[in-house]
């Protein structure tokens, strides 16, 4: 039996809950209009659904912002593995008729109603606001990596000179063939982008596969190393946290199986590869790192296995 908290849209969810009564469910209405239910679900640790609803303007902040904070805190205390948050497209409303809005759509400068304004605060408050992010480390310039940079207007963007030099003067067609979309970069990109090349060098022992690195903040907390091959000037990051040592290897490989089983990339991947020779060298270094330093957890950007391990999910 799984506990489910269903908030808002109570008429709609009352109908849905009654429809699944045959699967086993107890239902009662909370004093504030929330529906509390116990639903029988297969192998689910927890299910939490949060939806918007029409309320008095004076209660928007208390329910949308403070309520969401209580929900998140409660999930953490109860070790809930997955929080499903269903919100509202009202934050994009600007008095125009529009359809097919995606999350990448720019938000209005000012939210037009209190409901939308507090829903936006609700989405932002559990984490860090975009304007609070001070640094973004860009591994390389293939389009799936700088996508979203425009969402961080105050961040300084760190990257290697070679990475940007290789793509900045390409025409539109050449950029697309190289896997890059220049329009993703902020208009003031170069003005707020200190080069990794100009940060202090870090020296490892002679037998480490990545001897030379860049100490990004001068305190040893984040060391960037060259991983060229897949893309010009691609970098990876060594870091240490309370849970262990990590190496974020960007797209040096696309899965953990690649370095464990020495699986080379598919032939199609070569189409956007910058330098096959450099890639082969980087690949060998990564395999050596895995073999000789097993305590370092290697995390490829696109590895489904690592994503599932990080989120505690099981592969279906």
Cβ(50)–Cβ(71) below 8 Å: yes
pLDDT given at position 23: 43
What is the Cα–Cα distance from 150 to 146, expressed in whole angstroms?
A: 9
Q: Is the pLDDT of residue 138 over 90?
A: yes
The more confident residue out of 250 and 19 is 250
Q: Which of 185, 238, 249, 250 is nearest to 213 (CA)?
A: 238
Q: Is the pLDDT of residue 227 over 80?
A: yes
For the chain, the average pLDDT equals 75
The more confident residue out of 130 and 46 is 130
pLDDT given at position 50: 38
pLDDT tens sequence across 249-273 = 999 999 999 999 999 888 777 777 8
pLDDT given at position 32: 34
pLDDT tens sequence across 105-125 = 777 777 766 666 766 666 665
How much is the average pLDDT of 38-57?
40
For the domain 130-311, what is the CATH superfamily, name and number?
Ribonuclease Z/Hydroxyacylglutathione hydrolase-like (3.60.15.10)
Q: Is the pLDDT of residue 48 over 80?
A: no
How much is the average pLDDT of 262-288?
88
Cβ neighbour number for residue 158 with a 10 Å cutoff: 23
The domains of the chain are located at: 2-124, 130-311
Residue 228 tokens read as 């060229």
Q: Is the pLDDT of residue 87 over 70?
A: no
Backbone angles phi, psi at 128, to 5 degrees: -110, 130
pLDDT tier for residue 126 given thresholds of 50, 70 and 90: low
pLDDT given at position 62: 62
E strand or H helix at 114, and its extent?
helix 114-124
> Between the CA atoms of 213, 216, 222 and 228, what dihedral angle is there, to the nearest 10 degrees?
-40
pLDDT tier for residue 10 given thresholds of 50, 70 and 90: very low
Q: Which of 267, 269, 277, 304 is nearest to 179 (CA)?
A: 269
Residue 151 tokens read as 């969402």
Residue 81 pairs in a beta bridge with none
What is the Cα–Cα distance from 253 to 230, expressed in whole angstroms?
A: 9
Read off the pTM. Answer: 0.61
């Amino acid at each position: 039996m799984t506990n489910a908290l269903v908030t808002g849209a109570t008429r709609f969810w009352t109908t849905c809950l009654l429809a699944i009564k045959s699967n086993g469910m107890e239902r009662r209405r909370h004093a504030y209009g929330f529906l509390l239910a116990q639903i029988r679900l297969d192998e689910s640790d927890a299910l939490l659904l949060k939806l918007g609803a029409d309320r008095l303007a004076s209660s928007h902040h208390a329910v949308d912002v403070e309520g969401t904070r209580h929900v998140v805190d409660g999930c953490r205390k109860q070790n809930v593995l997955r929080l499903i948050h269903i919100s509202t497209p009202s934050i994009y409303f600007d008095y125009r008729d529009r359809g097919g809005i995606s999350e990448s759509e720019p938000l209005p400068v000012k939210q037009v109603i209190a409901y939308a304004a507090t829903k936006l605060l609700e989405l932002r408050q559990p984490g860090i606001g975009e304007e609070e992010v001070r640094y973004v480390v860009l591994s390389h310039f293939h389009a799936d990596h700088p996508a979203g940079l425009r969402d961080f207007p105050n961040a300084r963007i760190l990257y290697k000179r070679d990475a940007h030099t290789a793509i900045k003067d390409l025409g539109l067609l050449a950029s697309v063939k190289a896997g890059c979309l220049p329009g993703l970069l902020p208009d003031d990109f170069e003005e707020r982008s200190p080069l990794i090349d100009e940060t202090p060098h870090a020296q490892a022992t002679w037998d480490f596969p990545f001897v030379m690195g860049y100490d990004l903040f001068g305190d040893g907390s984040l060391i960037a190393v060259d991983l060229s091959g897949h893309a010009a000037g691609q970098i990876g990051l060594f870091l240490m946290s309370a849970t262990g040592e990590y190496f974020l290897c960007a797209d040096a490989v696309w899965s953990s199986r690649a370095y464990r089983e020495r699986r080379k990339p598919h032939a199609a991947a070569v189409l956007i590869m910058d330098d096959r020779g450099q890639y082969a060298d980087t690949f060998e270094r990564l395999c050596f790192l895995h073999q000789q330093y097993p305590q370092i957890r290697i995390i490829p950007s696109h590895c489904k296995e690592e994503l599932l391990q990080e989120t505690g999910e099981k592969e279906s």
